[in-house]
Amino acid sequence: MRLVIADDSVLLREGLIRLLEEEGHEVCAAVGDGPTLLEAVAEHRPDLAVVDVRMPPTHTDEGLRAALRIRAERPGVAVLVLSQYVEQRYAAELLTGAPERVGYLLKDRVAQVGEFLDALDRVAAGGAAFDPEVVRQLLARTTRTDPLARLTPRERDVLENMAEGLSNTAIAARLYVSLSAVEKHINALFDKLELAHAPEYSRRVLAVLRFLGS
């Protein structure tokens, strides 16, 4: 795939370039700030942008704001946020709209090369990939009673894994249960979240949005 990388750490940029090129991908540009990232995406129209959260000039949320602009203005470009931090507000906002072709991983995950490359492929293919710690912190934002409180611990486990972007088969393998058990839990949580079946929308997407936006 064709990628653009945005990170203010030269060492991390160079390491990602080497890793990705060894995997057969093309790195079109590697930049160190949000405005240059937007220019690079406009120029090269990559398949995916790998974006750090905190970059010059303020080192606060430039990367995430640039990622949100890419999502809004160029929906054909997948976005994988790579950060040392969980910015809860923007992580949830990143999913408003369609939680597809998007991911949010913590930089520690890059050390686990196989998992990082799997997440990269999943996001580029139209899926989602969220670090378990990102999901955990978003879940911790829930402070009021809502339909999520009606879920059983196992149903909540299944929904949490759905929010990470895993398929039913992958969830079954991770939780050591059968595929039919996962499907049963998903149908039960759809009912408890009052997500009726309708052809015009995906109940799976709505359930994940409910979970991450809670």
DSSP 176: T
Name the pLDDT band for 125 (thresholds 50, 70, 90).
very high
Give the start-end residues of each E strand in 63-127: 78-83, 102-106
How far apart, in whole angstroms, are the C-alpha atoms of residue 208 and residue 205? 5
Q: Rank 43-47, 80-84, 136-140 by mean pLDDT and report only the highest.
A: 43-47
CB 103 within 8 A of CB 3: no
pTM of the model: 0.67
Name the pLDDT band for 139 (thresholds 50, 70, 90).
low
DSSP 194: T
Tell me what pLDDT residue 128 has: 84
CB 102 within 8 A of CB 79: yes
Please determine, for residue 155, whether its predicted confidence score (pLDDT) is greater than 80: yes
Q: What is the mean pLDDT of the chain?
A: 85
Residue 90 tokens read as 């923007």
What percent of the chain has a predicted confidence (pLDDT) above 70?
A: 86
Of 125, 135, 30, nearest in space to 78 by CA: 125
